[in-house]
Amino acid sequence: MTALRLALSELRRLTAGTLPRLAVLAVAIIPTLYAGLYLFANHDPYGRLDEVPAAVVVEDAGDHGAQVADELLESGGFGWQRVDDAADAERGVREGTYDAALVIGPTFSDDLESAGRLEPRQASLTLITDDANSYLARTLAEQVVGRVRDALATQVGTEAADQFLQGFTEIHGRMTEAADGAGTLADGAARLADGVGEADDGAHRVADGAASAADGAGRLAAGASDAADGAGTLADGATQAADGAAALADGLNTLRDGTAALPEQTRTLADGAAQVAAGDAQVAQYGHQAADAADDVLPTLDGARSDLGAQLDAAVADGILTQEQADDVRARIDPVLEGQRSDVADLVGDVHDATGRLDRLADGAQQVADGAERLADAAPALADGVAQAADGAQQLADGTGQVRDGATALAAGVGDLRDGAADLATGTGTLSDGAADLAAGADRLVDGAGQVTDGSTELRDGIAEGAEQVPHPDDATREATAQTLGDPVAVRAVAHDRAGTYGAGLAPFFLSLATWIGAYVLFLFARPLSARALAAGRWVSAAVGGWVVPAGLGVVQVAAMFAVTRWALDIEPVHGWATALFLVLVSGTFVAILQLLNVWLGAAGQFLGLVLMLLQLVTAGGTFPWQTIPEPLRSLHRFLPMSWGVDGLRQLLYGGDLATAAQDAGRLLGVGLVALAATALLAGRQRVWTAKRLQPELVL
């Protein structure tokens, strides 16, 4: 008896009668009903979220809250409804009227805008849910609100970044203007340095001129002192001459008596007159020297004053000094120069007057000397002209009186000249000291102007360099940068293999589970082994024959399930024929496993098949990734056949790795063959009937 004949015999037994045929038909469509209903119910739940009622409450006093509500109402996600009162919305969630409620608080807009005022506060949304309505509704609501929060954060971040970048642009413009201003300042500082250098040169020339004037005034004071001494000597000599002339006039009456001694006396007189003439000439020479020195002082003072005025005007013209500063310098220096010049001018006038008098005195003294010389020469003949000599003596007395008076006036004038020259020396000394201080101050001003030039140049270069470092993007770049800063991370979804809908994503799991259920219910009608084959000793044929019929019905189950999935539910596999063949392999393997359990443990094996189905429900990784399940279930995932069925169907349905699908198919095929071999071994042991087989403890 071959396995094929045993299979045909078992099939005739199962289809003998109307009810058995209906039962076989029901068993054939059970996997289709299970998988089809599950996949149909979960085909695209996210596409019908607008049927889930949800409330949105706007308490915001600004505009942003209303915008958020309008976007929610337009974008969907849930069946959003505007509710006026937060208490009504919360009560609706508790009573099940709404699955979720979103409350936008009264300060929402103000909080969003607070960062722009540097008073940052987080804007918050209140999400109200109740797991008694639906746990997944809460999860989905959190995702929807999370997307709203992300969109708001992106918008607010983009606006803040745009304002931030606009501030950078404005700062760059202002720094560029500052750099231009600093450049102008540097140019002005350079011109200031040049002008201050010229002023420094002028100040040094003024100091040199003032020093020269002080030296000339000193020499003038010394000459005036010498002139005063000579004028005193002249006055004394003139007095003596006047006294002698008077005595001569008085003694002419007795001159006749003393004519014998007259030549000697006249010679003495001639010598004295010559001395007086020489002294007068020397004093006159001193007077001319003093006048020349005084004449040199006034041009020097006037030149120094003119140079200083020209330097101050040039400094004002170049912007080195202001007009007020130049006027202040003139106000401080002009009184000193004007006073000194007035004093010097007065002294120069006095010197010129005294010089004239000295010239006249020198001329008179020379005349006296000449006369005395002639008198001495004529002394021998004087006796003959005593009368005439008396008259001449009287004239001499009068002339020497005038000389005496002139010499006395000259002595007084030269004394004044000495005093004025001394004052002039003191004033020009003060002027020289002030000019030296001015030159020293000009030196310091030159140093300061150089520092200003260097500092302004560094300031210009530093501001220009800083301006280049400040970002100044154009409008397009600024907007793009602001959008990037507001939303810096873009998730680029690269899905190599996509399921499409939620139902298609669950299809590998539900198809595998339905195949196990279909194999399980087959053995509620089909016998795992043929008693006739066992009695005949054909235990291998019995095992194979017992597997062929359920496996064939499993092919029918898979065909119906695949057709409904493909054409009714529109879940199109990438590898259609490979998917169908893989499902046939999964069904045949599951049939072999359940046949082994029934042959090995009988009724207990059927129960164990149910337990094994439940165990594979949680270890196959059909909904959540299998890595999320705890131990020891995670370890069982690697060894239970439904895990390979789910994994292989994913690769074939979504266009994944065919090598992985082939590996899963190899594992299933190996498990199926091992199960058949084990069933054959167990069938050989069942040729002997025992009391336990005749009277089993448990019957299902």
User: How much is the pLDDT for 596?
Assistant: 94
The per-residue pLDDT for range 361-411, each reduced to its tens digit, is: 667 767 867 876 786 777 677 567 666 766 766 675 676 667 567 657 766
Q: What are the C-alpha distances in Å from 561 to residues 33, 35, 602, 621?
A: 8, 7, 29, 21
**Residue 82 class from Cβ within 10 Å (0-12 exposed, 13-18 middle, 19+ buried)?**
middle
**How many other CB atoms are found less than 10 A from the CB of residue 335?**
10
Domains of the chain: 3-44+501-694 (no CATH), 47-174+477-486 (3.40.1710), 193-238+256-469 (no CATH)
Phi, psi dihedral angles at 424 (to 5 degrees) = -60, -45
| Cβ-proximal residues to 609 (8 Å cutoff; 6+ apart), any chain | 520, 523, 593, 594, 597, 598
**How many other CB atoms are found less than 10 A from the CB of residue 494?**
5
Q: Give SS3 for 621.
A: coil
**How many other CB atoms are found less than 10 A from the CB of residue 254?**
8
User: How much is the pLDDT for 491?
Assistant: 46
Strand partners, 125: 104
Q: What is the DSSP letter of 260?
A: G
Q: CA triplet 103, 484, 149: central angle to 5 degrees?
A: 10
User: How much is the pLDDT for 594?
Assistant: 95
User: How much is the pLDDT for 699?
Assistant: 45
pTM: 0.50
Cα–Cα distance, 605 to 592 (Å, whole number): 13
Residues of the chain with pLDDT under 50: 1, 489-491, 493-496, 689, 691, 694-695, 698-699
User: How much is the pLDDT for 492?
Assistant: 52
